[in-house]
């Protein structure tokens, strides 16, 4: 006993009409939307089973909305200051909330030697901590000499996806001695959305 199934799809590939034939009997399924349909004819139990499988496939075909349509929220973190010598200090942090994801779209760092001092080593690093894992430095800017006007200003053009519980944070350090100083900045932009 065989069942013949013919499926008509719209321009996007969404099934709209299904015709099922079995032993001379015919049933038609008209899909109204992902939760409603109309059946014409008198389908057998096997035909009903085939129709329900096709309809369930229609419902799953719809799938989840694109990430940018799932309750999006823009995330910004920014720090910019004139700093003298200091130990590693956290300047900002961001943790992805439960049931959310975040696409980090832009990272930018700046370390600028404003007042020269012998022995200057200054840097800004961005660390990523996957949920339950250890910190990993993923992005950094460093100046290693005392020349006034020395600058490190990298931009990250690679985006990356963070999951619930993941953390990203920025730390600055400067060995600028007495009278020395640096302009230091760290910026982050991302889009948070429902998981």
> Which residue did the predictor score with more confidence, 182 or 90?
90
Q: Which of 193, 189, 167, 192 is nearest to 76 (CA)?
A: 189
Instruction: Tell me the three state secondary structure of residue 54.
Output: helix
Structure tokens at 154: 């990298």
Residues of the chain with CATH 2.60.120.1330: 68-194
Average pLDDT, the chain: 78
Task: Write out pLDDT tens, residues 14-49.
Answer: 666 777 777 667 767 666 655 566 666 666 666 666
**pTM listed for this prediction:** 0.63
10 Å Cβ neighbour count for 102?
A: 23
Please determine, looking at this structure, whether the domain spanning 68-194 carries the CATH number 2.40.50.100. Answer: no
Residue 93 in contact with residue 169, Cβ under 8 Å? yes
């Amino acid at each position: 006993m065989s069942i013949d199934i013919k499926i008509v799809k719209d321009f996007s590939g969404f099934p709209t009409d299904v015709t099922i034939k079995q032993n001379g009997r015919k049933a038609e399924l008209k899909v109204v939307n992902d939760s409603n349909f109309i059946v014409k004819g008198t389908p057998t139990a096997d035909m009903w089973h085939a129709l329900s499988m096709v309809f369930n496939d229609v419902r799953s075909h719809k799938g989840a909305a694109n990430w940018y349509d799932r309750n999006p929220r823009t995330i910004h973190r920014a720090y910019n200051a004139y700093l003298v010598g200091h130990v590693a200090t956290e300047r900002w942090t961001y943790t992805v909330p439960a049931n959310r994801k975040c696409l980090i779209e832009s990272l930018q760092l700046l370390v600028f030697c404003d007042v020269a001092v012998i022995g200057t080593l200054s840097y800004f690093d961005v660390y990523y901590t996957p949920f339950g894992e250890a910190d990993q430095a993923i992005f950094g800017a460093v100046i290693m000499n005392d020349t006034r006007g020395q600058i490190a200003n990298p931009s990250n053009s690679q985006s990356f996806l963070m999951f619930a519980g993941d953390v990203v944070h920025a730390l600055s350090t400067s060995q600028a001695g007495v009278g020395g100083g640096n302009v230091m900045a760290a910026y982050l932009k991302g889009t948070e959305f429902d998981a």
